[in-house]
Amino acid sequence: MALSNEQYESIIKKYERTSDYNRIVSQTRREEVYHKISGFQELEASVGTISAASARSMLEGDDNALPKLRRKLAEIADTRKRLLIEHGFPSDYLEPIYSCPACRDTGYVAAADGLKEKCRCFRQQEISILYAQSNIQDTIAKENFSTLSYEYYQKDDLRHFETAVELCHKFIQAFHQDYHNLFFYGTVGTGKSFLSGCIAKELLEQGSSVIYFSAAGLFELLARYSFDVRNKESLYGLYEDLYGCDLLIIDDLGTEITNSFVTSQLFSCLNERHLRKKSSLISTNISLEELRDRYSDRIFSRITSSFILCKLTGPDIRILKKRLSGSKAMQSGT
């Protein structure tokens, strides 16, 4: 799938707005420093004067001009940092500000062949538009590690949940160094989707591309494109996104209508991502026995051999929360 011209322009304009805002912040910081640190502006201006003088010396054949210039510039840089720190500013306070340091808020980075390619941050914006990921964006704004609570778990259920949380943190920390997959399974409402959202939020903030689908939504979209010859180009683009994004999240596996098409598509997706060493995260309410019976042996083997399995148990947290809130409401009413 590809962006329309309007969608592409909207992303580029967003980068322009971000760059303009960061330039204003940088300029405001510089004016603040000039106002508070006497002689700082003149110190910065001296860089241009010294550089011009050194250039003339080099043209006149002075072989020592470049080493001298480097020493002077290093001394000025050290003096700048010292003055900033002495007056209560961070040493990097006047460094350029970028929301995405990788592309410097342009949306593009240098590729291995010397050409330009889309930055991770551009790809995530593209993904969010193409797959209408507002649901996951809305969810992770409310459900993330900052809102995580252990109060609804007890005994073995608590131990399982604590283990799962620790696993999530390790998965995030090692995400860019090691290839791992996660499979959350267990009873309904025990925090599987919540933890998936926690991981998604952290990796999105790190600049990774994350695609989130409910199982039903994913296979419905694949079927729509697969059985309509007019959508072959869109199907190819969808496959490239599913196979190539940094993390693919398939939520509620087992809620879709399972048939040979679904089984084939699921295996192809998991296998291709495994070959590319791209991480996947699956959550499901079905047991491992049901997974084996419902899907092919190849899928069961792929998941049990290349995914870290994590079981969550306990009562349905959503129902428990409603009961507790209702009980509190009754108590306050009396």
The first and second tokens of residue 65, run together, are 């001009």
pLDDT of residue 136: 77
Using CA atoms, how far apart are residues 296 and 173, in angstroms rounded to an integer?
32
- Decide if pLDDT at 195 tops 80: yes
pLDDT in tens, 224-281: 889 887 778 888 888 999 999 999 999 999 999 999 999 999 999 999 999 999 999 9
pLDDT of residue 113: 83
pLDDT in tens, 129-139: 887 665 677 78
pLDDT of residue 324: 66
**CATH (residue range 131-320):** 3.40.50.300
pTM (global) more than 0.85: no
Q: What is the DSSP string of 66-114?
A: HHHHHHHHHHHHHHHHHHHHHTT--TTTTSPP-SSTTTTTSSEEE-TTS
Q: Which residues of 217-226 are buried (b: 16+ CB within 10 A; e: fewer)?
A: bbbebbbebe
Lowest mean pLDDT, pick from 56-65, 212-221, 282-291? 56-65
- Decide if pLDDT at 180 tops 80: yes
- Decide if pLDDT at 320 tops 80: no
pLDDT in tens, 67-100: 899 999 999 999 999 999 999 999 999 999 999 9
> What average pLDDT is seen over the chain?
90
